Amino acid sequence: QKEVEQDPGPLSVPEGAIVSLNCTYSNSAFQYFMWYRQYSRKGPELLMYTYSSGNKEDGRFTAQVDKSSKYISLFIRDSQPSDSATYLCALLSGYSTLTFGKGTMLLVSP
């Protein structure tokens, strides 16, 4: 079983929709959870990070972590065409071991 599972998509939604992106993991050692966004031909950029179970909100983005189920989510409200990108979850164990999901491609149509 892979350490981090993420549906590759693509996920296609109309503008204004609520988007749910998810990752599951198997290693209980993961303690920090991040979401990165990667536009085509660009490096990933950090969107959000959290280390506890529960929700963390930042504008239109909400990160949710359920450690008991080993499940993390990123919700995007009022999605915009500019949100079209690949979203990568990233999970940290220890000081430097960051494991990335393979990414979900999101397409938001006007």
| 34 binds other proteins per the rule CB under 8 A | yes
Q: How far is the CB of 14 from other proteins (least distance, A)?
A: 27
* Single residue of 63, 101, 106, 108 touching other proteins by CB under 8 A: 101
Q: Is 20 left (phi over 0), alpha (psi -120 to 50) or beta?
A: beta
* Single residue of 28, 59, 96, 110 touching other proteins by CB under 8 A: 96
Side chain identity at residue 31, one-letter code: Q
Q: How far is the CB of 45 from other proteins (least distance, A)?
A: 7
In order of 40, 47, 87, the CA distances from 60 in angstroms are 21, 11, 15
| 46 binds other proteins per the rule CB under 8 A | yes
- How far the first Cα of the chain sits from its last, in Å, is 38
Where on the chain is the footprint of other proteins (CB under 8 A)? 32, 34, 36, 41-46, 49, 88, 92, 95-98, 100-103
